[in-house]
Each structure stands twice: as structure tokens, then as C-alpha cells.
Structure 1
Amino acid sequence: MTTRDTIDLGEFAFLSGEAIPSLEVAYETYGDFTGDNAVLVCHALTGSAHVARRPDADDDTAGQARAWWGDIVGPGKAIDTTEYYVVCANVPGSCYGTTGPSSTNPEADEPYGTDFPPVTVGDWTRAQRRLLDELGVGRLHAVVGGSVGGMNVLDWLRRYPDDVGRAGAVATAARLDAQCLALDAVARRAITSDPNWNGGHYYAGPEPDDGLARARQIGHVMYLSKSSMARKFGRRSAGRETVREEPLDPAASFFPYREVESYLDYQADKFVSRFDANSYLYLTRAMDDFDLSAGYESDANALAAFDGELLLQSFTGDWHFTVDQSEAVAKAAREVDVDVAHHVVESDHGHDAFLVEPEKVGPPLSGLLEDGLSARTISDTGGTETSESDDFAPVHSSLFST
């Protein structure tokens, strides 16, 4: 059983202090609600509510917006929709059905543009809590998410600790480091320096496609690892037949157009056709601003009220959200006696691993939902784990059974 809908939550006050008269939230649900089996899935930066495959799905969206975790969520999959009532909601500020900069401001009868209030990860969590209230869901069996969706998960644990039984935070961190902050800043400036951006009010004219394309290309470099890029592209030329009709610089007609350039151009073209430049500005700001310890003395204090179970997953080739950053969250949880495990996956796919390696991501999540963090001794997947009592203790084989 699946549901695809939009709900009007009425007036919404953002943590910035600004408010809008109406917040519409696009969401999807999968499975039947039995009262204690609800699982909230939090999407990543440019994802949508469409987390799993639906019989009635169309081709209106692509990339992460289109069944972005379809190999993890679904009947018989790691997050089994025959067992759990799965909810995924598009976050405020996005452009996939939930109110954001491209939505119509009812007071001005035109798109908000940059008049839309600043958005934070905390606003996402608060909107999700209100949606769940409308759906009749109280305490969640689990909340799960990857990347900035994992930050969303951590925010649930500090903001609504009594409402979550189990949490899975995949490829995430308590905050971004300076290198990622810098790259996000350059990406945003690629958008705002595009002449068509027009201060964010471009919806009646040409859109800042070139700026958004460059921003997304920077993002893709962040999502891949050195080894995965070497394996995929190396220094190979894409071939003369793929050289663009309009070279980006005068020398481009002499030097080779490389496969890595072709890949970035292809990904940028796809992204520009499906995403809004202002939403990219807003959502990257929300990710950059997130700090688990904000308002608390430390990360540990932020997690202290959570008495459920927390599973962290990280990937060795991920330099966007590193193994060390996940381990820092695990260490903070241990300081306040939160039941926590950190599963480290050997992977050279970089940050994209949480999307492209479901065979490694899914089994630990399945184990978390079914059995919690109990009885873990031997791993058969090449992953390692840090737990409350052991450094990099192996993981129970039953966690990875298929």
C-alpha cells in the first residue's frame, strides 16, 4: 500500500523567526500502520519524498528524486514495507512539492524567490513532526537517513528524543568541516554570480542554469573518491566526437575533452533540468549551518536525553563525511550512555556509497530495525564496528543475512 500526497500544515514559523502563512509538505507512505511500526526516512540534499518504487510512479523526476533508495526500501528489502509503515517527506525549502523558494507566495501572488525564510535542518525536523502528528504517528519505531538526511536523524534525537526508538545515521556527521564549507560556498557563488540569478527573482525570465550546473559539478566532485574517479575516468579523452560545439575556453579545441569533464557536464545538464537554483542555495545553507552541539555544551549533551539505540554507518572512501566524523558522534553518544554502534564499510565509492552500494548499507539497517544492536559478534561483509565496549569489534553475521 502506497500513498503519495501533499498536506497543508498551515502557518509555519521557522527557527529564524520568520513565518509563512501556509506550509505544504509533499510526502509518501509505504505499507500499513499498525501503531508501533512507523519508520521515517530522511532524504539527502537534493532528494525527494519518493524514496521507494511505486506502481504509479512517473518519469517527472530523475536522479535522487526518483526512487532514490529503491534498493533499500520496499517489499522484502532492508526497510521492508510489508513490515513497516515507511514515511518520507520532502523538506521545506526544496522544489519537489514542499513549499520552498519556487513556490507561490500567497501574499504577493508570485514565487517567493529569496523572500522565502532561511531554512534549517531543525525546521525540517519540526515539519516532519507536524506531518507525523497529522498522520496519527506518535513514537517512531525508527528514523533513518543518509548524508544531510543523517544530520536530520541526529536532530530528531536531540529535539524529540522520546519520539524515537531506534536511529540509523548513514554517512553523516555532527557538522561539516571547513573544507566542505568552503566548497559549498564556492558552489553557491557560482549560482549567485550567474547574471540570470537576478537576486533570486528569476522565475519570469531566464534561469541561472550555468551557475546551478557549476554548483552541481562541484558537488559531484565532493561525492566521489580519488580512487573511484581514477577507476571511472582516469585521464582518458572522451573522444573528438564528444567535444562540445561551443568550447568553454579558446584552448579547448586543442586539448582533449576528458571523460571526467564529459561526466560532469552530463550530470550538470540532468540536474539543471530537475532542480531549482534557489533551493540549492537554501538547502546547502541548512546543511552548512547544522551543528549538533548548538544550544548544548557538547555533542554528548545534545544526545543525552535519547534512550534508544543509534547505529552509525560510515565509508572508508568518503571524504565528505568521514569515518572519523561518525566515530566522533559515536564517542559522544557513549559519553552519555546512549546504546550506539558504528559500522565502518570498506568502500572506494566516496560519499555516493550510501546510494550506490545497497548490499552494504541495507543489511545493518535491517538488523537495526529487526533486532536492534544486540548479539553482534562476527561480520561476513568486510565491515567493522566500534561499540560501547570494543574498538572496531566485528559485527554479528545475522545482521547481514539476506
Structure 2
Amino acid sequence: MTTRDTVTIGAFQFLSGESVPSLEIAYESYGEFDGTNAVLICHALTGSSHVARRPDAGDDTAGQARAWWGDVVGPGKAIDTTEYFVVCANVPGSCYGSTGPASTNPETGDPYGTDFPPVTVGDWTRAQRALLDEIGVGRLHAVVGGSVGGMNVLDWLRRYPDDVEYAASIAAAARLDPQCLALDTVARRAITTDPDWNGGHYYGGPEPVDGLARARQIGHIMYLSKASMARKFGRRSAGRETVREKPPDPAAAFFPYREVESYLDYQAEKFTDRFDANSYLYMTRAMDDFDLAAGYESDADAIAAFEGELLVLSFTGDWHFTVEQSEALADACRETDVSVAHHIVESDHGHDAFLVEPEKVGPPLSDLLAVGLEGRSITDTEDEEIDEPEAFAPVHTSLFSE
């Protein structure tokens, strides 16, 4: 069974103190609920509720070309929808069906734009809890997410520790480091300095396409590793047959148009067709703001009340959310006796790895959902030295582009 629907949870006050008169949450569900088998999937920055393939979807794919985790979630997959009732909700502030900046403000009849309240990861968690209450789901068998979705998972553990049995935070961290904060700042400046941004009130007129395109290109560079970029593009020219819409500067006709440039231009063009610039501002702000220890004495204190089991997955080539950051999170859990395992995946895909290597991500997730941290595919790095891998996996096409 699959469902795509929107639930109205009524007036909603955000953690900023501001509120909207009505908050709608778009979600998809897969499988049948038996009262104990619910698994919540938390999507990444520009993901949607369309996490798994739906035979009835056709072109109705929540704005994305294909299911963003269709090789991990589905019948017979690691998160098996014949066994588990899987729910994925589009978070507030996004543009894939849930209320966000592009939505109509019922009090004015116009799009909110930047009048929409500031959104935090905590607001995502609270909205997800409200959605689950509306559809009759109480305690979760598991909550799973990657990237900022992994931060969303951690917020569940500190905000609703009694509501989760198993959790998996994948390619995530307790907070962003200053380098990533800086890159996100530049990406947002690219949008807000676009002449068409108009203070965020561009709906019905020219949209800040160029600014959003530059922001997305910065994001793509963050998602890839040096090794994967070298292997995928090198310094190769894109070839004479590759035509770009317009040269970016007068000298461009003399110098080669490289494959890496062509890739970034192509991904930017596809992204601007499917995502809203204001939502990109709101979503990155929420990610940047997240700090697991906020309001607590430490990360350990923040999750001390969680009595379930947490699997932390990291990837050796990921410099966006590093192995060391995941190990620090695992150490915080051990400090307060939270059951945890840190599973390191050897990969040169960078941050993309949790999407493009289902054969490495799936087994530990499957074991976690079935038997917890005792699963044979789950290993813990405690008391082990973290070494660089001797060999890497081959490079695949990034699913962030879809």
C-alpha cells in the first residue's frame, strides 16, 4: 500500500515565536501499519516526501524526478515496506507540498515569501510528531535520516526520547563546522544579491534563477570529494559539441569549457526548475542553526534520556559531515550510556555516498530495524583507530541531481 496525502495540523507556532494560521504537511507512506512497525524517514536538504518508488506515481513524484532513496526503501529493500510502515514527510519551509515561503498566506491571499516565519530543525520534528498523531502513529519503531535529515533524527532523540526504539543518523553531525557555515553563507548571498530576488517577494515576476543556480553549484561542490571529482571530471574539456547558453565572461571563448563546469551548469539548470530560492534560504538556515547541545550542558546531556539504540553511519570521503564528527557524537552517547554503534563506510563519494551506495548503507539499516545494534552488519569503532581506507569504491552519478 502507498499513500500520498497532505494533512492540515492547524495553527502552528514555530520555535521563533512566530506562527501561521494553518500548517499543511505533505507526506507519503508505504506499507501497512500494525501498531508497532512505523519507520519515519527524514529527508535531506532539498529532498521531498517521495522517498520510495510508487507504482501509481507516474509523473506525480512530489517534484523530484525519482524516489530519492528508492534503492534503500521499498518491497524487499533494506527498509522493507512489506514489513514496515514507512512515513516520509516534507518539512515546513520546503517547497514540495508542505507549507513554506511559496505557499499562500490565507490572511493576505498572497505568497508568504520572506514573511514566512524562521524555521528550525526542531520545528520539523514537532511538525512530524503532529503529523504522526494525525495518522494514528504513536511510538516509532525507528527514525532514520541522512545529512540534515540525520540532524532531524538527533532532534527526535532529545525532543521525544520515549517515542523511538531505534534510530539511524547517517552522514550527519551534532552541528555544522565553520567551513560549511561559511560556504552556506556564500550560497545564500548568491540568492539574496540576485536582482530578481526582490527581498523574497518575487512570486508572479522574474525569479532569482541565477542566484539559486550559483547556490546549488556551491552545494554540489560540498557534496563531492576531491577523489570523486578527480576521477569523474579531471581537467578534461567538455568537448566542442558541448554548448552552453552564454559564456560567463569574455575570455571564456578562448579557454576550454571543462567537464566539471559543464556538470555544475547542468545540475544548476535542473535544480532551478524544481526548487524555490526562498526555500533554499530557509532550509540552509535551519541546518546551520542546528546544535544538538543547545539548551543543554553538552551533546551527551541532550540525548541522555534516550533509552533506545542509535546507529551512526559515516563515510570516509565525506568532508561535509566527517567521520571524526560522527565519532564525537558516538562518544557523547557512550558518555551517558546511550546504546550506540558507529559504522564507518569506506567510500570516496563524499557526502553523496549515503545516496549512491545502497549496497553499503542498506545492510546495517536492515539489521538495525530487525535486531538492533547486535546486527551482523553493524560495527562500532569504539577502541579502534580510524584509518584511511586502502581502496575506494567506484564513482557513480550523484542522486542529489535528481
Under TM normalisation by the shorter chain, which class is it?
Answer: over 0.9
Match of 2:141 in 1: 141
Secondary structure at the counterpart of residue 374 of structure 2: coil
Q: Is the 8 A contact 1:237 1:259 kept in 2?
A: yes
Q: Identify the match of residue 381 of structure 2 among 386, 391, 394.
A: 386
Separation in 2, partners of 1:65, 1:89: 17
Residues 109-124 of structure 1 mapped to structure 2, 5 A cutoff:
109-124=109-124
Match of 2:233 in 1: 233
Separation in 2, partners of 1:141, 1:294: 26
Report the CA distance between 1:374 and its aligned residue: 1.6
Separation in 1, partners of 2:261, 2:59: 27
Q: After alignment, is 31-40 or 50-59 more displaced? A: 50-59
Percent identity over the alignment? 82
Separation in 1, partners of 2:5, 2:204: 28
Separation in 1, partners of 2:247, 2:158: 50
Length, aligned pairs only: 386
Letter in 1 for 2:11: E
Structure 1: state its 5+ residue gaps: 394-402
Separation in 2, partners of 1:133, 1:321: 32
Match of 2:18 in 1: 18
Match of 1:242 in 2: 242
Residues 34-45 of structure 1 mapped to structure 2, 5 A cutoff:
34-45=34-45
Match of 2:190 in 1: 190
Report the CA distance between 1:384 and its aligned residue: 5.6
Q: 1:86 to 1:62 in 2, by over 3 A?
A: closer
Match of 1:398 in 2: none
Match of 1:49 in 2: 49
Q: Is the 8 A contact 1:40 1:88 kept in 2?
A: yes
Report the CA distance between 1:64 and its aligned residue: 5.8
Secondary structure at the counterpart of residue 190 of structure 2: helix
Please report the TM-score for the alignment, with normalisation by the length of structure 2: 0.94
Q: Is the 8 A contact 2:39 2:86 kept in 1?
A: yes
Match of 1:100 in 2: 100
Q: Is the 8 A contact 2:341 2:379 kept in 1?
A: no
Report the CA distance between 1:58 and its aligned residue: 2.8
Q: 1:153 to 1:65 in 2, by over 3 A?
A: farther
Report the CA distance between 1:244 and its aligned residue: 1.9
Separation in 2, partners of 1:51, 1:127: 18
Q: 1:196 to 1:375 in 2, by over 3 A?
A: closer
Match of 2:267 in 1: 267
Residues 278-293 of structure 1 mapped to structure 2, 5 A cutoff:
278-293=278-293
Letter in 2 for 1:309: E
Q: Is the 8 A contact 2:50 2:62 kept in 1?
A: no
Q: Is the 8 A contact 1:384 1:392 kept in 2?
A: no
Secondary structure at the counterpart of residue 104 of structure 1: coil
Separation in 2, partners of 1:228, 1:375: 30
Q: Which consecutive aligned stretches of 4+ in structure 1 deviate over 2 angstroms post-superposition?
A: 58-66, 390-393
Secondary structure at the counterpart of residue 381 of structure 2: strand
Match of 2:398 in 1: none
Q: Is the 8 A contact 2:50 2:61 kept in 1?
A: no
Q: Is the 8 A contact 2:228 2:350 kept in 1?
A: yes
Separation in 2, partners of 1:385, 1:337: 14
Match of 1:132 in 2: 132
Letter in 1 for 2:191: I
Q: After alignment, is 343-352 or 50-59 more displaced? A: 50-59
